[in-house]
Amino acid sequence: MQPVHEFEIYRTVYSYAKIYNNMTKLFEFNHPSKIRKKGYEARKKRVKMNKNSTPDPVSVIDSLRRTKTRLSDIVVSNDFDLFCTFTFAEDRQNVDKCKSKMSVWLNNQQKRVGEFDYVIVPEFHKDGKSIHFHALFKGYKGKLEKTKLLTPKTKQRVYNIPGYKAGFSTAVKIDDIEAVGSYIKKYITKDMPQFNGKKRYWCSQGLSRPKKITNPVVFESDRKHFTEEHQMNNMRLYTANKKIDLTESLD
C-alpha cells in the first residue's frame, strides 16, 4: 500500500465565506489553517460519561460556541417576523413536558391557521427552576391581541396570542433580524435547560442555512462591498450588506 502524502489528506484554508439571503460574511485568517479533506476526517473518540462525570470545560465552551453559531445562522437566514415568549401554568419545571405541550400547540396551530416556521429556545425564570420558551415565528397567521404594553427600549407594541392556553404569551413584531440574531444567542449558556437533556434549541424542518464556501475567490469588484467589522485572534471578519455569489477556489 502506497503512503498517502500530506497534501492529499489536508487542505490549507486561507478564508471562508457565509452567504445569506441579504448579507455576506467573509472570514480571513491571519495565519492559514489546515483541515482534513473529505474521506480523511479524524475519527472522534467516544468518551463514556457516568452520572458523576464532570464535562470537560473546553468541550462545553466549544459546544456552546457551535450552538450559538448555528442558531445565529438560522435566525439571519430566515425572515422571522415575530419574537414570542411562552410561559406554562403547569409542569413549568419540566422542560420535556413543556416541550410536549408546546409541540401539541404548534401542531394544532399548523392545522388551524396554516403552516409557519419557528425556532424555540428555553430559559429559566429568575427562580432558576421554572421554564419559559422564547420563540421566533415566520408566517404565523393566527390571531394577535394588542395590549397596552410597549417594549422598554424600542417602544414596540406587545401582543398576546389568544390561541395559546397553556400559560401566558407575548409577541413582538421583528424589524431588525440581525439584532434579534445577536440577542437570542444570550440565552445559550452552560446552565440553560436542554430539550431531552441535550438539545439547546428546537426548530421546524426546512429552515434555510447560509451557504458556506472555503477559500472563496473575491474579485476587487466584490471586495468594495465589504466593510471590516472586527478582528479576532487569528481572523478578520468583513461584512457586505448584500448577497454576493462567491465561488470556491479550485486549489
State the Cα–Cα distance between residues 77 and 30, nearest whole angstrom.
Answer: 27
Look at residue 105 and tell me whether its pLDDT is greater than 80. Answer: yes
Q: Which residue has the cell 413584531?
A: 173
Question: Comparing C-alpha atoms, which of 14, 29, 17, 15 is closest to residue 73?
Answer: 17
Q: Which of 50-59, 62-71, 99-108, 138-147 has the lowest mean pLDDT?
A: 50-59
Cell 427552576 found at: 129
| 232 burial level (CB within 10 Å; 0-12, 13-18, 19+) | exposed
Portion of the chain with pLDDT greater than 70, in percent:
88
Cell matching residue 51: 452520572
State how far the Cα of 234 lies from the Cα of 31, in Å rounded to an integer: 6
Q: 57 burial class (0-12, 13-18, 19+ CB within 10 angstroms)?
A: exposed
